Amino acid sequence: TAPCIAFAASKIYKDNSEATLIITPSDHLIVNETRFNEIISTAIDVANEKHHLVTLGIAPTRPDTGYGYIEFDRNANVGKGQATDVIQFREKPNLETAKAFVSAGNFYWNAGIFVWRADVILQALETFQPSLYQLFASDLSNYGTNEEESFIYNAFDSCEDISIDFAVMEHAKNVSVVLSDFDWSDLNSRFAPVTILL
């Protein structure tokens, strides 16, 4: 996902340097669309006001090793639908670690839904993945031209296959999570649970 995001952010940034991007998987089920839109609006506000990388967190219903986990301050006094700073972002832990996270109560699943400004994610890529940044964002002159297709083919052919979670989210410090309470299911999960959050 990191190369795809690098491409999208670079292309959009060329047209609008203050654009805000919403990154969503295509295989997730969102049941309560009204609440989802409210959560996204909160994430957009945080992304623009704090220049943070914002992720949506889902309260875990079991220790699952297939999800990344987001730790936030248990004393932050933050409620559902609100944002708080992320302490750490841990991608797909082992089972014992996942059990500890769920027991702690201040770890949420990473839904893989992100909101951020194009310039903020590009700066993060430049810091943590300079080779990826170099391929997609160092020269924006090819975007929107007849050269774009060959430029992109070359960039994707040359880049590392890495998720945005490993590439950026585990390293960045300017990360917020919105504690989300819309009904959600990762349909591509081996369990495909419908997580009902009341």
Long-range contacts of 24-30 (CB under 8 A, 24+ apart): 24/112, 24/113, 25/112, 25/113, 25/186, 25/188, 27/186, 27/187, 27/188, 28/111, 28/112, 28/113, 28/184, 28/185, 28/186, 28/187, 29/183, 29/184, 29/185, 29/187, 29/194, 30/182, 30/183, 30/184
> Could you tell me which residue, 131 or 76, shows the higher pLDDT?
131
Question: Minimal CA–CA distance to 134: which of 170, 160, 169?
Answer: 160
pLDDT at 67: 85
CB atoms within 10 A of CB 29: 12
Mean pLDDT of all residues in 16-26: 92
pLDDT at 188: 61
Q: Please count the CA atoms within 13 angstroms of the CA of 26 that sit on its side-chain side.
A: 1
> Could you tell me which residue, 12 or 191, shows the higher pLDDT?
12
Question: Minimal CA–CA distance to 175: which of 44, 48, 52, 23?
Answer: 52
Confidence band, pLDDT 50/70/90 cuts, at residue 189: low
Question: Minimal CA–CA distance to 4: which of 18, 28, 25?
Answer: 25
Rounded distance between C-alpha atoms, residue 63 and residue 89, angstroms: 16
> Could you tell me which residue, 111 or 195, shows the higher pLDDT?
111
User: What value does the mean pLDDT of the chain take?
Assistant: 90
Please check the confidence at residue 198 and state whether its pLDDT lies above 70. no
Residues 6+ positions from 15 with CB-CB distance below 8 Å:
144
CB atoms within 10 A of CB 28: 15
Q: For 129-170, what is each residue's pLDDT tens digit?
A: 999 999 999 999 999 999 999 999 999 999 999 999 899 999
Please check the confidence at residue 13 and state whether its pLDDT lies above 80. yes
Note the pTM of the prediction, 2 decimals: 0.87
pLDDT at 181: 85
Helix (H, G, I), strand (E, B) or coil at 50: helix
Q: For 29-56, what is each residue's pLDDT tens digit?
A: 788 889 999 999 999 999 999 999 999 9
pLDDT at 41: 97
pLDDT at 191: 42
